């Protein structure tokens, strides 16, 4: 018994041609996605986008004032080179924050004490969150060379929900330490 003859005017489809057409279609689809993402800037907000004049990294949708109040952070008046990435509706809860700034020795003490953060330790295990980025806006930012760490977990209260905070401080230049912080709702 032989295979049925194709209908008049139609040629039989080869499995090779079918696979080739599916492969080309997938390749064109992937290329279209890559072009669309590159033209719309849909890459991760932390991969090289410079902060705006207020220090917000691309992708931030919450003000620094809002997240500072939420996570009870008292930023020093002398904070310089401030960069932050703040999200509302983050993965872990209502707010997520990554922040970096440079300050003075007295500004660092003001920040730690005013924010109620525990004493710094050389042990990274004191962090309750992931290790803070050296700079949330720049993928290729210089890392923290001589870091000390502090972290806490704050239980929810009548006026706030529960959250965690982790801070790394590079004091290789003791007069101008660099502070990197990550905080998120739990």
Examine the domain organization and report whether 71 and 118 are in the same domain: yes
pTM of the model: 0.69
The sign of the CA dihedral 55, 134, 96, 124 is: negative
Q: Report H helices in 73-124.
A: 105-114
- Between 47-61, 94-108, 163-177, the lowest mean confidence (pLDDT) is in 47-61
Determine, yes or no, domain membership for 57.
Answer: no
Q: How far apart are CA 177 and CA 163, in angstroms?
A: 25
Per residue in 107-122, pLDDT (tens digit) is 999 999 999 999 999 9
Examine the domain organization and report whether 95 and 174 are in the same domain: yes
Structural domain including 93 reads 64-185
Determine, yes or no, domain membership for 32.
Answer: yes
Examine the domain organization and report whether 78 and 158 are in the same domain: yes
Span 139-157, mean pLDDT? Answer: 82
We report the CATH number of the domain holding residue 130 as 3.40.1000
Examine the domain organization and report whether 74 and 32 are in the same domain: no
- At residue 31 the predicted structure's pLDDT band, cuts being 50, 70 and 90, is very low
Identify the H or E element spanning 156.
Answer: none
Mean pLDDT for all residues in the chain: 79
Span 16-40, mean pLDDT? Answer: 50
The answer, yes or no, to whether residue 11 has pLDDT greater than 90, is no
Determine, yes or no, domain membership for 10.
Answer: no
Q: How far apart are CA 74 and CA 110, in angstroms?
A: 8
Q: Annotate 45-83 with b (16+ C-beta within 10 A) or e (fewer).
A: bbeebebeeebbbbbbebebeebbebbebebbeebeebb
pLDDT at position 42? 39
Examine the domain organization and report whether 69 and 40 are in the same domain: no
Phi, psi of 116 (to 5 degrees): 70, 25
Indicate the number of domains in the chain.
Answer: 2
Per residue in 60-72, pLDDT (tens digit) is 999 999 999 999 9
Determine, yes or no, domain membership for 136.
Answer: yes
Q: Which of 39 and 12 is assigned the larger pLDDT?
A: 12
Distance (Å) of CA 146 to CA 62, 133, 168 = 30, 14, 9
Span 165-172, mean pLDDT? Answer: 94
Residue with tokens 């980025």: 133
Examine the domain organization and report whether 87 and 32 are in the same domain: no
Examine the domain organization and report whether 72 and 163 are in the same domain: yes
Span 155-170, mean pLDDT? Answer: 89
Examine the domain organization and report whether 101 and 39 are in the same domain: no
- At residue 22 the predicted structure's pLDDT band, cuts being 50, 70 and 90, is low
pLDDT at position 45? 43
């Amino acid at each position: 018994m032989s295979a049925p003859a194709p209908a008049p005017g139609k040629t039989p489809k080869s499995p090779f041609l079918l696979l080739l057409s599916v492969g080309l279609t997938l390749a064109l689809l992937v290329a279209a996605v890559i072009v669309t993402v590159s033209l719309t800037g849909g890459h991760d907000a932390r991969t090289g986008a410079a902060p705006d004049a207020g220090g917000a990294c691309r992708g931030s949708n919450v003000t620094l004032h809002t997240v500072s109040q939420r996570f009870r952070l008292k930023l020093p008046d002398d904070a310089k080179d401030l960069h932050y990435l703040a999200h509302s509706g983050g993965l872990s809860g209502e707010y997520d924050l990554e922040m970096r700034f440079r300050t003075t020795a007295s500004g660092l003490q003001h920040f730690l004490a005013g924010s109620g953060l525990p004493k710094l330790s050389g042990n990274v295990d004191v962090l309750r969150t992931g290790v803070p980025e050296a700079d949330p806006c720049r993928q290729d930012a210089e890392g923290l060379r001589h870091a000390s760490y502090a972290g806490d977990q704050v239980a929810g209260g009548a006026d706030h929900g529960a959250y965690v905070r982790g801070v790394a401080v590079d004091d290789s230049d003791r007069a101008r330490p660099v502070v990197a912080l990550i905080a998120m709702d739990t």
